[in-house]
Structure 1
Amino acid sequence: MTVVRNNPLGEKDFVETLIPQRFPFVMVDKLYSYSETELVSGFTIQSDALFLENDFFLESGIIEHMAQSVALHTGYQFYLKKMQAPTGYIGSVKDIEISQLPKLHDEIITTVSILQEFGGITLVDVVTKLDDVEIAKGQMKTVLAK
């Protein structure tokens, strides 16, 4: 899947309609690409971002960005079906490795790869990059509310 960074599918205002989080807790602001099995999102770290300390975006912010990227996949999937997306929850976080913290004004790009989806439970691999260099990865399981 090719990511065209100067032509995202959705910018901040649209993206925020697809996820349950609201300012100041929003940590995705671009939707670059979508398929049934993969999504690429972006987040440019601004001075009002939660989890920003001494101009570094902390580990907890990266993990929340990853989780919101998964939520964005679900939200866009329901948007395409012209349906309201249900609320989801993180069921588990596994094997998270973070090798570098991004800084204020950096844009992180995250790829969500769907490994399995059944009965409202989704297992994904998530990889976050900064300037095309992997800085975080892991697995998440999300559960849709009934």
Structure 2
Amino acid sequence: MEEGRYKIDIKKFLPHRPPMLLVSNMPFIGPESVITEFHITSDCIFIDNNYFVEAGLIENAAQTCSAIVGQSYFDKEDLEGTSNKLVGYISAIKKVEIYGLPKVNDTIVTKAKLISRYDTEGLSICTMSSSTFRNDDLIVDCTLNCLIQEV
């Protein structure tokens, strides 16, 4: 397994706040991959008829993916997310396949990998692949382009 960090509080590093924060835990992050978890609750804004809808699944994937490149903007010793401020944007959805929708009280696990990255002063353009699972069943497979920018 690649060298990485375990059990980082991702909420301290993402600019998102409820109700747009769609990641609960980050059990692992490395230089080119990340694993996140999201426990779906009934008060989530992406719930329709007790299901977590497609837009929520895509946003969960984007938040997960952004952590890979976003981590490089923070000091290595920073465990509180105070050494920088970032924003991220989905610049393109290259591919998305949704095989099933999770329900309220499910926990989904999203695994993402960095495919490519181009850096300029305070801005990264990157392509990442992501797979989301519910109880070990693949429910989402996607490839996203994202922009990560210092603010």
CA distance in 2, matches of 1:136, 1:121: 23
Is the strand fraction higher in 1 or 2? Answer: 2
Q: Give structure 1 regions of 4+ aligned residues with deviation exceeding 2 angstroms.
A: 71-83
CA distance in 2, matches of 1:145, 1:76: 12
CA 1:118 to 1:75, structure 2 compared with 1: closer, same or farther past 3 Å? closer
Contact 1:74 1:85 in 2 (8 A): no
Q: Identify the residue that residue 122 of structure 1 maps to in structure 2.
A: 126
Q: Report the 3-state secondary structure (helix = DSSP H, G, I; strand = E; otherwise coil) of the residue aligned with 2:7.
A: coil
CA distance in 2, matches of 1:29, 1:77: 21
**Cα deviation 1:59-102 (Å, max 9, x = unaligned):** 11100110111123334443453431421211101110001000
Q: Give the alignment's Cα RMSD to 1 decimal.
A: 1.8
Q: Identify the residue that residue 56 of structure 2 maps to in structure 1.
A: 61
Contact 1:98 1:135 in 2 (8 A): yes
Structure 1 runs not aligned, ≥5 long: 3-7
Q: Report the 3-state secondary structure (helix = DSSP H, G, I; strand = E; otherwise coil) of the residue aligned with 1:26.
A: coil
- 2:138 equivalent among 127, 134, 137: 134
Contact 2:68 2:114 in 1 (8 A): no
Number of equivalent positions: 138
CA distance in 2, matches of 1:130, 1:69: 15
| Aligned amino acid, residue 97 of structure 1 | E
CA distance in 2, matches of 1:141, 1:117: 10
CA distance in 1, matches of 2:58, 2:94: 11
**Cα deviation 1:79-132 (Å, max 9, x = unaligned):** 453431421211101110001000001011001100111111111011001111
Q: Identify the residue that residue 96 of structure 2 maps to in structure 1.
A: 96
Q: Report the 3-state secondary structure (helix = DSSP H, G, I; strand = E; otherwise coil) of the residue aligned with 1:73.
A: helix
Q: Report the 3-state secondary structure (helix = DSSP H, G, I; strand = E; otherwise coil) of the residue aligned with 1:93.
A: strand
Map 1:15-94; keep pairs closer than 5 Å: 15-81=10-76, 82=78, 83-94=83-94
